[in-house]
Amino acid sequence: MKKRHHYVPILHLKHFAGQQPAGQVWTYDAIEGTQRSSTPENTAVEGHFYSFEREDGTLDASIEDIYEKFESAAAPAYEELSKGRFPDDRGRSHFSEFLGTMFVRTPTWRRMAGELYSRHVQIMTYAYAVDDDAFDKLTAEVEASAGKTFSAEEKAAVRELMIDPSKVKMTIAKHVTLNGFELADKLANIFHAMKWSIVESAKGYFVSSDNPVVRTVDPATQHPIYGDGGFMNKTARVTFPLSPKRMLLLSWDGPNNVLRSSRREQTLGFNIERAKQSERYLYAHINDKRISALAHAFRHIRPGTETQGFGPKKFARTEIPRKWNS
């Protein structure tokens, strides 16, 4: 069983290995404001990141093996794209699947999946708390199950927390945040259907991050209740850095399989978006104080989960422990 799991795969990181030191990737820590170099094998790796506990307490690390299969299948297409060439349809399919798994395997998705599940539970409990009949029925069921009767003060205290859960912490089991394969499959179909471009940086270079698949949309398409339509938004742009000099751009408009050139200010704009949507780390092929400044500038910004409409005004802080019994 493999214990060291890469939340950003070596297949991707090796394309950002530089020459000083040779064969190493520079990691920029937005929170600590530091930078360090290491080999791709020792970058973006965490012990048992994808493992979850079975009922008997042993660890299941099979998800890491599944991700490696997607990486192996996508490797030939990655090499073509990184050289500025588009793969055939089979390669395009494999790389679309790889991009889908790249989106759901990151610390960002782990956190957001936990937050979404946590908020769903809190909205359901809020619904019981704000309805007298529903709360009384739920209380009666709990009392029958526990074999005891709660006092009016105890009921009032619990009801208050159900209405305003911001005063408590909600712990979500790790395995809840690992089930992203269904979404990855849906995303693969969307990515395959989009128009593909390879963007080459004429000056400057692209950086990567611990959340490298970045989606942006026209802010005018954002609905206050229904959101922006996600990846199906017709203004959506999906970017994925292939190397310091090339980046994959997916969109719904324009020609398919085209090469584009990126000016220095455009390349910087892409890097800014990646820094904004990173969880903590940026990756690059060189040690550059400008990247360190970029990471530091957006250290307080992370992709967030938004739930609008019915529910608590403030939600509980969500925690996802590495081990459920910890």
76 and 155 co-located in one domain: no
Q: How many domains does the chain have?
A: 2
Q: Are the C-beta atoms of 126 and 119 separated by less than 8 Å?
A: no
> So what's the pLDDT on residue 306?
63
274 and 192 co-located in one domain: yes
181 and 286 co-located in one domain: yes
pLDDT digits (tens, 9 = 90+) for 53-78: 888 888 888 888 999 999 999 999 99
Is the confidence at residue 326, as pLDDT, over 50? no
With H, G, I as helix, E, B as strand and everything else as coil, classify residue 97.
helix
186 and 81 co-located in one domain: yes
Which pTM value belongs to this model?
0.88
- Torsion of Cα atoms, 118 then 120 then 122 then 128, to 10°: -150
98 and 183 co-located in one domain: yes
275 and 186 co-located in one domain: yes
240 and 126 co-located in one domain: no
> So what's the pLDDT on residue 307?
61
Is the confidence at residue 181, as pLDDT, over 80? no
Interior angle at CA 194, CA 305 and CA 249, nearest 5? 75
Average pLDDT over the chain, rounded to an integer: 92
Q: Is residue 102 part of a domain?
A: yes
> What is the domain range of residue 222?
4-112+175-297
209 and 285 co-located in one domain: yes
Q: Is residue 260 part of a domain?
A: yes
- Residue 209: CB atoms within 10 A of its CB come to 28
Q: Is residue 303 part of a domain?
A: no
108 and 221 co-located in one domain: yes
Residues 14 and 202: their CA atoms lie apart, in Å, by 21
pLDDT digits (tens, 9 = 90+) for 221-268: 987 767 888 999 999 999 999 999 999 999 999 999 999 999 999 999
> So what's the pLDDT on residue 308?
64
> So what's the pLDDT on residue 2?
82
Helices H / strands E in the chain, number of each: 9, 16
Q: Is residue 219 part of a domain?
A: yes
> So what's the pLDDT on residue 176?
81
Q: Is residue 326 part of a domain?
A: no
| Residues near 210 by beta carbon (within 8 Å), at least 6 away in sequence | 7, 8, 44, 106, 107, 108, 278, 279, 280, 281, 283
> So what's the pLDDT on residue 25?
98
Is the confidence at residue 166, as pLDDT, over 70? yes
24 and 150 co-located in one domain: no
> So what's the pLDDT on residue 310?
82
Average pLDDT over residues 286-302: 94
198 and 281 co-located in one domain: yes
Between 81-85, 179-183, 227-231, 250-254, the lowest mean confidence (pLDDT) is in 179-183
Residues 79 and 234: their CA atoms lie apart, in Å, by 29
> So what's the pLDDT on residue 305?
62
Is the confidence at residue 162, as pLDDT, over 80? yes
> So what's the pLDDT on residue 268?
97
98 and 193 co-located in one domain: yes
